[in-house]
Structure 1
Amino acid sequence: MASYLSQAKYLILQFSSCKVIHIKRSKNKSAEALSKLASTNFEHLAKDIRVEILDRMSVPQNQVLVIQTGVESWMTPIMAYLSSGILLEEKVAARKIRHKALNYQMQEGVLYRRYFLGPLLRCVDAEDANYLIREVHESICGLHAGSRMVVAKLMNAEYYWPGMHMEAIQEIRKCDSCQRRAPNTLRPKNELVPVTSA
């Protein structure tokens, strides 16, 4: 949608004057009928209705160029072991990776963790994990929930990385909105110590 918006802004600049008016949904029945027409089959339509089918997009697709590849993360040794059987030199580290690899699976070059309560969970690195936490916690649909709810939503969205609970707690503590609007607890900071009178 962002590319269509930029294309529309570019086309607006080509005109000498342009006016954009918001039309209420109740008064815009022809546009709504047109949008429903796009999802129907055209064979039953009468001959007097003219339908044009576009075979290519009106917005040119952006080319994505890979800038950085081969970044080391926690997934690198597990992926190397699962894809080609390469282990580290140290025996203890190699045994740990061999033991961890039992819980993981490679599909089309992507690492997934086996999850016994649901589908496979896609493994992500630290940078993507930070973005996912912020997206679930404070994006447009974010509810500024606690760390347990954020991790549960991420696992329902089929993502995984080790230490996701601790990273969620650290990221939520940085949220300015949660710090300002958190409810004040009226409970004492320490447990009360009863003192008996003499």
Structure 2
Amino acid sequence: MTSTGQTKRPGRPRGTSDARERILASARELFARNGIDNTSIRSIAAGAGVDSALVHHYFGTKQQLFVAAIDIPIDPMTVLVPLRDTPVEELGHILPSILLPLWDSEMGASLVATMRSLLAGSDVSLIRSFFQDVIIAEVAPRVDNPPGTGRLRVEFVASQLVGIVMARYIIAIEPFASLPAVQIAATIGPTLQRYLTGDLPGL
């Protein structure tokens, strides 16, 4: 109750007009320095000079804040969640069949532009954190056979996928850049699957 006897209406936490940008700046710095897992909402809020509740108000979860911080136009869980229901022995085939049509779409063009910008700038550590704390953390435990190989297996897959982005969308090597997505997916699927579940030299 307020002093006038009226119930105070709930609203958004107080913050200055530039609070959102300060939160993003703090998040980029801390995510780049410490990674996602070792960065807390509280530390981001402290760096921005705001209350933690304001961070949640603007961005929701820590992962949603990370997506906003690296400015990609799609939540990576849109891709990763369906993979949770995919049998391990099919992951290598399903992954490119999901990613390539997405990259070929209008939304994918924004994704590629973001990656190009990050690679050209000083935010490579954010891409590294994205792979390590989101992609690898999600998939590696499922392919960790023999134990201790899961992380490296996913990194081999990531190297292949990043190479495709570079060759198809950034450098645009022909005729590769114009091949149907389904043809590329069918070609690289067996290789990705071998990385994930097959025998690898030295492992």
- TM-score normalised per structure 1: 0.22
When Rg is computed on C-alpha atoms for both structures, the one with the higher figure is: 1
Task: Give the strand-richer structure, 1 or 2.
Answer: 1
**Greater relative CO, 1 or 2 (CA 8 Å, sep 6+):** 2
User: Is the helix fraction higher in 1 or 2?
Assistant: 2
TM-score, normalised to structure 2, is 0.22
